[in-house]
């Protein structure tokens, strides 16, 4: 019997890029295909997606990609991957509805093989048989996956928490998890995002109570910013606005698009009176307006960011208005969000955010819920997923506390390979994985060296040395002219650059005629001389770019 291989292509040791491969013999399935939003160190990069070179090399094995839910870190990379892979995509109705718009943006709606699944449905991708199990999260229509393989049952939780009072009555399916636990689970792959938080994650309904109190105490416009995929949160804001006599205005392309898709599919109840930012809402008094916007993370081009800078074409924040950031601070965005809040306060708004108001709850399980999942499924082997390394370590420790033997708990990172038989599990040689950067229309054409150069330019500036050299004699015809950006202030730069010009002249005089007629050799000598001078004079290392014109 062929062993089963578990291969994370992204999402282990990091947040985002979630993609897990299950491979057995000549067949494989992938679970999720997510992206990551770049941190401040990835200058100019728009998105980060998993490197699927291994999949492309083994594309004949891949039977399909199964999606657990519709968040960007689980579906966002699909449009880029599907340009190179032609395989069926499985997901629930809402997941596929939100994915469809992404596919249209990339002109893939006519070629993508999309197949709808529902919780409780069994389907086969030989030699795997799969069942989606209903879980609760910060979005509707979310699934865990039970996967029958030739060596045993694997359960992949996806993102989950145990919410006993969910917004739409989609209850967490304790019975199916327990049934698989009774039958025997070979391996559990479980969400580790909130493993550092003790107790239970509060229900989404608790947010509604706190939001309503803020609404009742507000006398001006209210702007609520949340993730455009947080359909339950959007529904609560809509319902509270109706009870408070406010009209809802949707603002931001993704907010309008996702809300309309969810409404068309029956997952969101929008009032007939809702409006978009381009309609004539200005005729209404401020105390009757609620804006649902994007930009809770301070994204530079988002609606809320432009409003905070008083740069939006129609929406203005004034004294007496209320702004609610109904989302968590994603790690790495703290400074950007703080700047956003400061700008809003300068406009006179009252701002409610995670640190001062209970206006957000997580969609991920805390420690007691993670223990419940382990107790329901009773796996022989355990692998924590979805989290940075410290989260994986703490989740492994939690599993051991519940009773999974230490030798049966494995920590995997991207590219690691866990090989399982019916009676054993071991890590074998890893595969090569990585990240692919999306920069504008370029996908994968920006490599680490380019990011390093951008970081170098941002930190140390640049000096351009331009000179004209006679092609035959090697004599200096014009220059050298030195131009700097981001290196020294104008008032002090003149003397430094004049000295640098003398360094170039001295360097040219010390080079023989043959070397001066070789532009590549001349560039390298000038670069070395200027870098040496700047390092000695200022202890700085700007990017030095000699530009040689042959005459």
> In the annotation, is 110 catalytic?
no
Alpha-carbon gap, residue 144 to 67, rounded angstroms: 9
Alpha-carbon gap, residue 28 to 361, rounded angstroms: 36
Name the catalytic one among 69, 305, 364, 391. 364
Residue ranges of alpha helices (H) inside 66-198 are: 72-75, 78-81, 93-105, 174-183
Q: What angle do CA 54, 55, 58 make, to 5 degrees?
A: 90
Torsion of CA 119, 120, 126, 127, to 10 degrees: 110
Alpha-carbon gap, residue 375 to 541, rounded angstroms: 57
Pairing label, strands 88-91, 462-469:
unpaired
Alpha-carbon gap, residue 272 to 293, rounded angstroms: 19
The DSSP line for 470-501 is -TTT--EEEEEEEEEESSS-HHHHHHHHHHHH
Distances from the Cα of 35 to the Cαs of 14, 48, 58, 233, 461, in angstroms?
11, 6, 21, 23, 31
Task: Identify the burial level of 513 via C-beta atoms within 10 angstroms of its C-beta, where 0-12 means exposed, 13-18 middle and 19 or more buried.
Answer: exposed
Which pair of tokens denotes residue 541?
Answer: 């290392």
The 10 Å CB-count burial string (b at 16+, else e) for 286-323 is: eeebbbbbbbbbbbeebbbbbbbeeebeebebeeebbb
Alpha-carbon gap, residue 162 to 365, rounded angstroms: 7
Name the catalytic one among 73, 159, 163, 191. 191
Cross-strand pairs, 48: 36, 437
Which pair of tokens denotes residue 330?
Answer: 């994603």
Alpha-carbon gap, residue 425 to 152, rounded angstroms: 12
Query: Are 10 and 414 within 8 A, CB to CB?
Result: yes
> In the annotation, is 137 catalytic?
no
For tokens 């700007």, the residue is: 542
For tokens 């001066």, the residue is: 516
Whether the ω angle into residue 127 lies within 30 degrees of 0, i.e. cis, is: yes
Residues with catalytic function: 191, 364
């Amino acid at each position: 019997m062929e062993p089963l291989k578990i291969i994370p292509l992204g999402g282990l040791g990091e947040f985002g890029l979630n993609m897990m491969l299950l491979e057995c013999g000549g067949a494989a399935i992938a679970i999720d295909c997510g992206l990551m939003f770049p941190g401040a160190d990835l200058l100019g990069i728009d998105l980060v997606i998993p490197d699927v070179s291994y999949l492309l090399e083994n594309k004949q094995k891949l039977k399909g990609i199964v999606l657990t839910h519709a968040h960007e870190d689980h579906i966002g990379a699909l449009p880029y991957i599907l340009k190179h892979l032609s395989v069926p995509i499985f997901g629930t109705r809402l997941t596929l509805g939100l994915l469809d718009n992404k596919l249209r943006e990339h002109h893939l709606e006519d070629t993508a093989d999309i197949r709808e699944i529902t919780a409780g449905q069994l389907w086969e991708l030989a030699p795997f048989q799969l069942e989606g199990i209903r879980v609760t999260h910060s979005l509707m229509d979310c699934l865990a996956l039970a996967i029958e393989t030739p060596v045993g049952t694997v359960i992949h939780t996806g993102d989950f928490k145990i919410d006993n009072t969910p917004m739409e009555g989609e209850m967490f399916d304790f019975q199916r998890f327990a049934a698989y636990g009774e039958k025997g689970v070979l391996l559990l792959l479980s969400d580790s995002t909130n493993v550092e938080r003790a107790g239970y994650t509060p229900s989404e309904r608790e947010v509604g109570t706190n939001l309503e109190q803020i609404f009742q105490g507000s006398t001006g416009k209210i702007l609520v910013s949340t993730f455009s995929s947080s359909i339950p949160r959007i529904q609560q804001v809509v319902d509270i606005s109706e009870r408070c006599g406010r009209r809802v205005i949707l603002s931001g392309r993704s907010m309008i698009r996702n809300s309309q898709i969810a409404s068309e599919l029956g997952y969101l109840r929008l009032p007939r009176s809702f409006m978009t930012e381009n309609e004539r809402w200005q005729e209404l008094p401020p105390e009757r307006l609620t804006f649902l916007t994007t930009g809770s993370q301070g994204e530079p081009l988002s609606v809320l960011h432009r409003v905070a800078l008083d740069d939006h074409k129609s929406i203005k924040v004034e004294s007496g208005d209320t702004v609610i950031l109904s989302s968590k601070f994603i790690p790495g965005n703290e400074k950007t969000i703080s700047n956003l809040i400061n700008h809003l306060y300068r406009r006179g708004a009252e701002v409610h955010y995670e640190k001062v108001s209970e206006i957000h709850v997580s969609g991920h399980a805390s420690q007691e819920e993670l223990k419940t999942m382990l107790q329901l499924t009773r796996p022989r082997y355990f692998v924590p997923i979805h989290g940075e390394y410290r989260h994986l370590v703490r989740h492994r420790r939690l599993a051991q506390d519940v009773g999974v033997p230490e030798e049966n708990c494995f920590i995997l990172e991207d590219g690691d390979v866990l090989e399982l038989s019916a009676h054993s599990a071991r890590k074998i040689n890893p595969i090569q994985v990585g990240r692919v950067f999306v920069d504008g229309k370029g996908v994968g054409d920006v490599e680490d060296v380019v990011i390093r150069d951008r970081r170098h330019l941002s930190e140390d500036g640049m000096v351009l040395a331009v000179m004209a050299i006679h092609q035959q004699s090697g004599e200096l015809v014009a220059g050298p002219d030195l131009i700097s950006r981001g290196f020294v202030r104008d008032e002090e730069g003149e003397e430094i650059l004049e000295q640098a010009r003398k360094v170039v002249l001295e360097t040219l005089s010390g080079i023989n005629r043959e070397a001066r007629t070789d532009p590549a050799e001349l560039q390298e000598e000038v670069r070395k001389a200027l870098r040496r001078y700047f390092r000695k004079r200022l202890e700085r290392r700007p990017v030095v770019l000699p530009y040689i014109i042959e005459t």
